[in-house]
Amino acid sequence: MTQRKRIILLLAALLWTALLGAQNVSDLIIAEALAEPDSTGILDGYGRRGGWIELYNTSTGTVNFGGCFLTDDRGNLKKSIIPKSDNRTKLGPRQVVLIYASGNGADGTFYAGFTLKPGSSVYLVSNDGRTVIDSLCIPQDQPAGKSVIKLADDIRQKHFVQQEEAAVPSPGILNGKQDNETRAQHMKERDPHGWILTVVSISVVFSALAILWFMFWLLFDRRAQKAKKQAAIPAKASGRVEKSPEAEVAAAIALALDMESSGDDYAAIAAAVHLYLTETVHDAEPGIITIVRRPSAWESNKALNFRKLPR
């Protein structure tokens, strides 16, 4: 593999990594879980009240959690798989989804094959079946109708801490403070005139242009320079003699017509064709036609030129 191909593959890998960075299942957390519902608990799709697990996407990109696993057994990380064939497993940015702990994964895509109990823990496992993405522990003395939640000072942060006290269940609702200032508001306070944003924007644009120029030079300009160098090599130095048959035939015919004293056009054309086929006319230099005259048998043997008298 040439150096140019290695550089192109490296750039493509970096670009692919950057594009997929916001769609990693590691951005998911178990934001809330309920082990034992009370009479006010929500109903699942079959009209049953039971425990449930809430997943939250902390990133700003869509995450497809199909193929991941949920389990309450640290020794069996593949206990309940989330089907990957369902398009509904794509979770939007800063969105939540409920997984019902019904004990039967065959109930549907959003049903786990185990039930939650006080004192147990629930684990979210990556689609490789080995990496634990997040976990949540349910206290042994957790009262019925109360959930365990994770909170952050700002829902835009990725650092969530499990709360010790029991909470009122809030299935399908974001947990955490949502009235904090956004990053844009912070930036407005730090840079009221927009100088930092201007410098960053210009830097990004010029960096992109530099990368495009480098790739263009790598792919096209070097190839053109190589072709130009090859074209500049003389034919004699390269050991190749390039011929233009039409030009050589025309030149041979013209020269033969001038050399023929008899003026016989057919003889001149025949002579020109003969010279071309025997490579007497050759083009060893660009733009110069060289004719090497080969003496005939009549010219080398003077005796053949004498006319014999009839007896």
In this predicted model, what pLDDT tens digit does every residue of 152-161 receive, in sequence order?
Answer: 755 555 556 7
Read off the pLDDT of residues 86-125 as tens digits, 9 standing for 90 and up: 989 999 998 999 999 999 999 999 999 999 999 999 999 9
Range from 57-66, 188-197, 244-253 carrying the lowest mean pLDDT:
244-253
Q: How far is CA 202 from CA 18, 196, 209, 216, in A?
A: 20, 10, 11, 21
pLDDT of residue 180: 47
- 243 or 32: which carries more pLDDT confidence? 32
Read off the pLDDT of residues 38-52 as tens digits, 9 standing for 90 and up: 988 899 999 999 999
The verdict on domain 22-179 having CATH code 3.90.110.10 is no
pLDDT band of 284, cuts 50, 70, 90? low
To the nearest whole number, what is the mean pLDDT of the chain?
76
Q: Please classify residue 58 by burial: count the beta carbons closer than 10 Å to its beta carbon, then call 0-12 exposed, 13-18 middle and 19+ buried.
A: buried
For 44-66, what is the mean pLDDT?
92
Tokens of 146: 């109360």
- As beta bridge partners, residue 90 has 64
For 203-207, what is the mean pLDDT?
90
DSSP readout, 101-148? Answer: E-S-GGG-TTB-SS---TT-EEEEE-TTSS-EEEEEEPPTTPPTT-EE
> Do the bridges between strand 28-34 and strand 147-151 make them parallel or antiparallel, or are there none, so unpaired?
antiparallel
- When mean pLDDT is compared over 43-57, 203-217, 242-256, the highest value belongs to 43-57
Residue 6 CB contacts under 8 Å (≥ 6 apart), including other chains: none
182 DSSP 8-state letter: P
Residues of the chain with CATH 2.60.40.1260: 22-179
pLDDT band of 20, cuts 50, 70, 90? very low
The residue among 171, 175, 194 whose CA lies nearest residue 184 is: 194
pLDDT band of 129, cuts 50, 70, 90? very high
Res 24 pLDDT > 90 = no
Read off the pLDDT of residues 154-190 as tens digits, 9 standing for 90 and up: 555 555 677 767 788 888 887 765 444 456 656 666 7
